A and B are shown apart, each in its own frame.
Chain A
Amino acid sequence: MISKNRRKHFFVDKSFQLHYAIYIVLTLIVVSSVGMIGNYYGIWASVIQAFSEESLQESLTTSAQMNEYEASRHPSSGLNQMPSLRMYRETALLSQHQKEMIREIMDEAHRKTIALGILLLFFIGWGSIFLTHKVAGPLFKLAQYFQELKKRNLTVRIKFRKFDEVNYLATHFNEATATVDASISRIKRILKEPANDSTISEIEKEISKFKTTSE
């Protein structure tokens, strides 16, 4: 079953919607970029620091030094017979391997970030059109109703969608139209009845309720 409120067109007022969509998209892009860059440097920078060559070297040296401290305290244990960790040629290789691992992780993270960014842009675009539709739709309708009023059609009544942004305007518009419609209908009804002494005064009384530029 198709909803009564289903939107038939994305763009009800193309220039208006595009205009505001650009504003919204740009704002969201700036905010997202600041957030993402902050996040990138906040989290990744600490990861990069933690796995930097200096940091790895420090960790290895600390580990080696603690091993050496322990060995120096237990000289008869044979621990001192072990070559120091500092002397392992693999230390440099380990450092290199760790760096490669980090580079791979970072490349993967960059790819995912870019894909996520594109997806985010799509959603922001779609979201902004959806948002502008909620504003542009009622305005477009309102313009159509004013066109009807211009043709002196006082039977029009506005009905916006439930979650449209300017829903309250419909009530005011409908009240105003109904008031004018009631007055004109009354004058028409007086004119349809057989004329008597009070006819003119009743019409004047009804017309006097209107404030016009001719006064």
Chain B
Amino acid sequence: MSHCETAFQAKSKQSQFLDCFDSHFGFLTMTVIFFFFFRCIPLYAEPEVLSAQDRLLLKQIQKDSLNYFLTYTNPETGLTQDSSRSGSPASIAATGFALASFAIGSANGWLSYREAYEKIERTLDTLEQHTPNEHGFFYHFVDSKTGKRVWNSEISSIDTALLIAGALLAASYFKGTGLEVRVKRLYERVDWNWMRNGTMQMCHGWKPKEGFLPYYWDMYSEHLILQALALGAQTHAVPEHVWKSWRREKENWQGNPIVYSYTGSLFTYQFSHAFINFRGLSDDGIDYFENSKLATLANQNFCFLNQTQYQTYQDGVWGLSASLGPDGYQAYGSEPGIGLHDGTIAPYAAIGSIVFTPKESINVIRTLYEKYGQRLYGNYGFKDAFNLDRNWWANEYLGIDQGITVMMIENQLSDGAVWNHFMKLPAIKLWIQRAGLQ
């Protein structure tokens, strides 16, 4: 074989190899692209977790729960009663939920635009002119007729935050109107720094004679909404390291770490989430949405494991959260956390977790509605709680619990409508940036 022939043969083999490589590379490339691109699209229709009947039931619960705010909000002052119980004072947190609910009611066509607008306006009138405040913070409980402080109520940081969040959300439904300006003014009036009392954590509250309460928001709980508003404020914003200063205590549950709250009450994993969409936000690797989902499943599992001890937990019933109980209001909860429980279940707990665990939540909601609806369901949705073991049934509704019901159902049924409004607020964008959330 001549050198030239040998060279030709070698070149020919190389060429064959390249041709072969080219054709296979093209195929492989296409396969890889196809795999990565189309793996995001399900190849079959994912079954809906909620059936049409489920959605109808949730809509009914949402509408009935909203009626609480229409009935128990004082028509003169726009302040909402803490509870449906006669003689109950107004709570500023319940008022915040009322403002959010009026906006949602208007979006759903249950209230006309004008009705909702006027109701929100009336509340703002009272908050601006008649309700006493300290550095922009309001008292937890006020007289629904006058707006003045009642009993020995404290200036409350978290309840003011829930009020401001509700007002901001309501105003965002009425874009370009005077409500936006007024709510902004109310928000800017709050001196978030003052509530730190010179520390790096937000204090729970303040009383005129005693001064600052000896309790601080020092570990995970419902205070994330307070943090978000305090960091995202244009005026009196707290320093960035306030966000880092509270403890993220973790405990493993079925191999998954949960950043847990002290009480393990479900509401601590829900209240901030009603406004803020934590999906896709990472706080040094913590996804608080997934965290709430795990906490909810842990709560369900805790009830399941204790069903032999308490009859209420049978038939798959779960939902331990702060609520009224046979011995008064208690911060019921599960593990991780102290896990205080006595067989009392709060229906709002499962409803408030509908965005985290739609399947598990709807199952228990349906059971509660169908099995105990006669005693547990009324004109304003589910009553606060019940305990089969003690044959105790709440005869009242709590404003904040009806509020979380209205908001979470709205997020679930209306493609995160509340989140979509709230996450667009400049304050929230600024908080995400300052807290370093990815």
Contacts and interface: CB of A to CB of B under 8 A. Distances in A.
A58 B86 CA distance: 7
Contacts of A87: 327-328
Given A68-B330, A72-B329, A86-B328, A77 B88 contact: no
Contact of A74 (B88, B151, B204, B329): B204
A73 B87 contact: no
A66 interface: yes
A144 interface: no
Given A62-B89, A66-B153, A73-B204, A84 B327 contact: yes
Given A64-B328, A66-B151, A75 B338 contact: yes
A179 interface: no
Interface string A60-76: 01111110111011111
A147 interface: no
B311 to A, nearest CB: 23
A59 B87 contact: yes
Interface string B109-153: 000000000000000000000000000000011000000000111
A87 B327 CA distance: 7
A74 B328 contact: no
A53 to B, nearest CB: 12
B327 A66 contact: no
A69 B213 CA distance: 14
Nearest to B265: A72
B62 interface: no
A75 B213 CA distance: 14
Interface in A62-115: 62-66, 68-70, 72-77, 80, 84-87
B262 interface: yes
Interface string B137-178: 000110000000001111000000000000000000000000
A32 to B, nearest CB: 34
Nearest to A64: B328
Given A62-B151, A63-B151, A66-B141, A75 B85 contact: no
A58 B215 contact: no
A46 interface: no
Interface residues of B, number: 27
B331 interface: yes
Contact of B263 (A55, A69, A75): A75
B322 A76 contact: no
A59 B88 CA distance: 8
Interface string B312-340: 00000000001000011111000000101
Nearest to A61: B85
A96 B262 CA distance: 40
A75 B322 contact: no
B87 A62 contact: yes
Interface in A171-196: none
Residue with the greatest number of chain B CB neighbours at <10 A, chosen from A58, A72, A73: A73
B67 interface: no
B299 interface: no
B71 to A, nearest CB: 18
Contact of B330 (A63, A64, A72): A72
B73 interface: no
Nearest to B324: A65
Query: What are the 9 tightest A-B residue pairs by CB atom distance, in nearest-first order?
Result: A58-B87, A68-B329, A72-B331, A84-B328, A68-B328, A86-B328, A74-B215, A72-B322, A65-B329
